[in-house]
Amino acid sequence: MTDPMSAFDGLAGRIADIERRFAGLRDDLAELSGTATDESGLVSATVDATGVLTGLTLAPAALRAGTEGVAELVLDAYRRARTAATEHVEKHTEGLDVTLGAGLTDLFGKPGDFSALGRLEETVARLGRLDDRLPGPPA
């Protein structure tokens, strides 16, 4: 029978390892962006990693296209910028799903495999019994 504390420490260690491996990823993704120009080169758009427009530049000549033309140029630049941002995110996170998935599968089993839940419940119960045997805090 496995010692409950060592099982708990092992679980905590594996979770901490996953957290360490992916620490800072949110900050890294927040700094990623994509910038692109429309086909004519008159409009430039910048979006963040989530596709939110963060910058837009129009050359004076773009205004000659009229309101509908400017709208088309802006949308073209925006779509291209989103594509560029998506490519940056994909490059930055390449293999992440495989690595994270493997780490979680090691911890909790494959989807639909509820034996890991049973092991977790058993470990929690053992820890509870162990805690019950420990002396209380000093008065």
Please check the confidence at residue 3 and state whether its pLDDT lies above 70.
no
| For range 124-139, the mean pLDDT | 61
Q: Which residue has the higher pLDDT, 56 or 101?
A: 56
Which structure tokens are listed for 110? 């494959």
Please check the confidence at residue 22 and state whether its pLDDT lies above 90.
no
Contact (CB, 8 A) for 132 and 4: no
pLDDT-based confidence at 139, cuts 50/70/90? Answer: very low
